[in-house]
Amino acid sequence: MKVTRIAYSERLNPGKYAALAEQARRLGRVRSEVWQRYGSIAGVGSGLTDRQVRDRWLADGTHIQFGVLANAWKETVRDAMADIAANLASAKVEIRRAITRRTNDPVGRKRMFTALKANQWASEPFLALQMRKHWKRGKSRTHDQIVVRADQHNTVADARGRLWLAVPGLQRRKMVRIPLSTTVAPTGTLRLILRGGRVEVHHQIDASRMRSSQRPCGQRTVGVDKGYTEALTDSDGGHHGSRLGALLTSESDRLKERNRRRAKLRSIANNAALRGNHAKAHRIMVNNLGTVKRDRRAARHRALVRTEIFTAVHRVVDKAATVVAEDLTKSFAGRKTLGRNVNRRLAAWTKGVTAEALTNVSERRGSALVRVNAAYTSQTCHRCGRLGRRSGDRFHCTPCGVVWQADVNAAINILQRAGDPDIALHTPYRVVKQILQDRTDRHRTRLPVQDSSPAIAGRRANHPNRSPMSN
């Protein structure tokens, strides 16, 4: 398993930066072309491999217009085709869910799953419809990246021990040398991202080389509930990643204040431009509305949150061989629908990081991750199974007469879902509610309890007044 590491350029000559930025801009056109032709359901050649695309372009001369070296556009084609494949794969996840919701007939399901897997959605009207809905026409607006093949770059240390990374430029045999702020040479395929006068060198290292991957996992089965005050609460009542809430709140407050100030400055600049004072408008845009500091600060905040969440997951895996969690990959609201609402954007992004951390850490440390259907786990009492009332961080169960800590109650419910015979991962929300109600109704209508195991008998003895079989 691989993890991404980032090295940064240090005091890079502006001329070199401009040359790299120009190369990235031209490669952005390569990306757009790939998406335009192969990135949608109607794409002329969907189903092609990146090698086939390269051969076609070489044959018909598509590549000449871009004005970049051969290796550069070829790597970009490969990268863009991989993005398209990832895009298609995530659309398929949504469609598999839609198929499960649509039919209970195993034969029909199987037929549609098979057609979907083989990319033969045209023959199934339902699949074709779903493909159009979920595989929207893709576009690439990436114009600040250069992908460099592993054998196309090299690193040397100068007399003072500083590393210089040499990558191909726009001219043959003229490498661009980038001074790095790290002492560890990036290896493998590199992704250079040009941002605010600085080059980010993204590269991957083998996760088994990381020290945290050597830590063994625990031995128990633990349920976790994700939260925003704490990253995770486990079914033992443990809280992990307790600084998350403070980090998110302070960032959200800061962003709101900053956006307010920037809007004000922007309106001053616009008014100045309307009055013909273009020099003033330009000054404000350059000096007060720049993006370099803003973007770096955002990156620092993201790094802090990621560390907090990953540390939380490590704490859970310290004691767990199996982690049971909500399926966090489900139903992300798109970037567009979130609009400018800072809190919701941060929350959606945090959820993605938690999902990534759970998968990543489990895989590296050898614990199993079990994803369960979390419908109503925060609204149900884990002891009696009835729906209760959540207020803030408390959960009130009137029949039990008990107040639970809401997130611990949810974590225990999630743990119990792993062994639930009736509620599967994709069981629809309303069906889950029905199942939960049927279970508690059985008590209310005094039907005989099938199971007479000692556990249940014991529970009845503890609560004689509430037992349907007492008296």
| Contacting residues toward Zn ion, per CB under 5 A | 381, 383-384, 397, 400
**Pair 326, 371: CB distance under 8 Å:** yes
Report the first-to-last Cα separation within the chain, whole angstroms: 60
- Give 149 or 390: the residue with its C-beta nearer to Zn ion: 390
**In which residue are the tokens 């959540």 written?**
390
Q: Report, in angstroms and rounded to the nearest whole number, the Rg of the chain calculated over CA atoms.
A: 27
- Give 320 or 397: the residue with its C-beta nearer to Zn ion: 397
* Least Å from the CB of residue 421 to Zn ion: 21
* Least Å from the CB of residue 399 to Zn ion: 5
**Pair 315, 265: CB distance under 8 Å:** no
The alpha carbon torsion through 369, 370, 372, 378 (nearest 10 deg) reads: -60
* Least Å from the CB of residue 236 to Zn ion: 19
- Give 21 or 412: the residue with its C-beta nearer to Zn ion: 412
User: Quick one: 5 exposed, middle or buried, by C-beta within 10 A (0-12, 13-18, 19+)?
Assistant: middle
**Cα separation, 93 vs 464, whole angstroms:** 48
* Least Å from the CB of residue 385 to Zn ion: 7
- Give 23 or 235: the residue with its C-beta nearer to Zn ion: 235
- Residues forming a β-bridge with 205: 3
* Least Å from the CB of residue 254 to Zn ion: 41
**Pair 326, 377: CB distance under 8 Å:** yes
Strands 145-148 and 154-157: unpaired
- Give 9 or 413: the residue with its C-beta nearer to Zn ion: 413
- Give 301 or 439: the residue with its C-beta nearer to Zn ion: 439
* Least Å from the CB of residue 324 to Zn ion: 21
> ∠ CA 16-302-345 to the nearest 5 degrees?
115
Strands 220-226 and 320-326: parallel
> ∠ CA 381-324-316 to the nearest 5 degrees?
105
- Residues forming a β-bridge with 102: none
Estimate the crossing angle of helix 125-134 against helix 70-102, to 10 degrees.
130
Which of 179, 83, 184, 193 is closest to 148 using CA atoms?
193
**Cα separation, 311 vs 317, whole angstroms:** 10
* Least Å from the CB of residue 386 to Zn ion: 5
- Give 322 or 413: the residue with its C-beta nearer to Zn ion: 413
**In which residue are the tokens 């070199």 written?**
16
Largest CA distance in the chain: 92
- Give 375 or 412: the residue with its C-beta nearer to Zn ion: 412
Residues whose CB is less than 8 angstroms from the CB of residue 470 and which lie 6 or more positions away in sequence, other chains included:
460, 464
* Least Å from the CB of residue 405 to Zn ion: 14
- Give 351 or 459: the residue with its C-beta nearer to Zn ion: 459
* Least Å from the CB of residue 404 to Zn ion: 8
* Least Å from the CB of residue 396 to Zn ion: 9
CA dist 212 to 221, 319, 360, 372, Å? 20, 15, 11, 26
Structure tokens given for 364: 């590296």
**Pair 170, 162: CB distance under 8 Å:** no
* Least Å from the CB of residue 382 to Zn ion: 8
- Give 111 or 383: the residue with its C-beta nearer to Zn ion: 383
- Give 361 or 397: the residue with its C-beta nearer to Zn ion: 397
* Least Å from the CB of residue 383 to Zn ion: 5
- Give 91 or 397: the residue with its C-beta nearer to Zn ion: 397
Instruction: Count how many residues are written for the chain.
Output: 471
